[in-house]
Amino acid sequence: MAATHPALLLSGKVLKPILCGQFANRLKAFGTALSGRRERSTYTGQIIPPPAKYGGRHTVTLIPGDGIGPELLNHVREVFRFSCVPVDFEVVNVNSALTTEDDINNAITAIRRNGVALKGNIETNHTLPPSHKSRNNLLRTSLDLYANVMHCQSLPGVQTRHKNIDIIIIRENTEGEYSSLEHESVSGVVESLKIITRLNSLRIADYAFRLAREKGRRRVTAVHKANIMKLADGLFLQCCKEVAAGYPDITFDSMIVDNTTMQLVSKPQQFDVMVMPNLYGNVVSNVCAGLVGGPGLVPGANYGRDYAVFETATRNTGKSIADRNIANPTAMLLASCLMLDHLKLHDSASMIRNAVLTTMNETRLHTADIGGQGTTSEHKDDASLFSKAEDRRERLCESIGKSYLVISVTQLCSSQQYPL
Q: Tens of pLDDT along 295-331?
A: 889 999 999 999 999 999 987 776 767 677 778 888 9
Distance from C-alpha of 297 to C-alpha of 269, rounded to nearest angstrom: 18
**pLDDT at residue 177 greater than cutoff 90:** yes
Does residue 388 contact residue 409 with C-beta atoms inside 8 Å? yes
**pLDDT of res. 127:** 75
How high is the pLDDT of residue 375?
53
Q: For residues 355 and 394, give the distance between their C-alpha atoms in angstroms, rounded to a whole number.
A: 10
Arithmetic mean of pLDDT, 245-264: 98
| Each residue's pLDDT tens digit, 358-396 | 777 766 656 677 766 665 334 323 322 332 333 555 556
Q: How confident is the model at residue 75 (pLDDT cuts 50, 70, 90)?
A: confident
Cβ(342)–Cβ(299) below 8 Å: no
Strand partners, 252: 220
Integer Cα distance of 15 and 387 in angstroms: 56
Q: Looking at residue 179, what is its pLDDT? A: 85
362's torsion region: left (phi>0), alpha (psi -120 to 50) or beta?
A: alpha
* DSSP character at residue 361: I
Asked if residue 355 has pLDDT above 80, the reply is yes
381's CB contacts (< 8 A; 6+ apart) are none
Q: Is 83 helix (H, G, I), strand (E, B) or coil?
A: coil
Helix axis angle, 392-401 relative to 69-82, nearest 10°? 160
Give mean pLDDT, residues 139-154: 97
Other Cβ atoms closer than 10 A to 367 = 25
Instruction: Please provide the average confidence, as pLDDT, over all residues in the chain.
Output: 80
- Entry pTM: 0.80
pLDDT band at 66 (very low <50, low <70, confident <90, very high): confident
Whether pLDDT at 222 is above 60: yes
pLDDT band at 107 (very low <50, low <70, confident <90, very high): very high
pLDDT average, residue stretch 25-40:
43
- Report pLDDT for 78: 87
Kindly give the interhelix angle for 257-266 and 278-291, rounded to the nearest 10 degrees. 10
The conformational region for residue 144 under phi > 0 = left, psi -120 to 50 = alpha, else beta, is: left
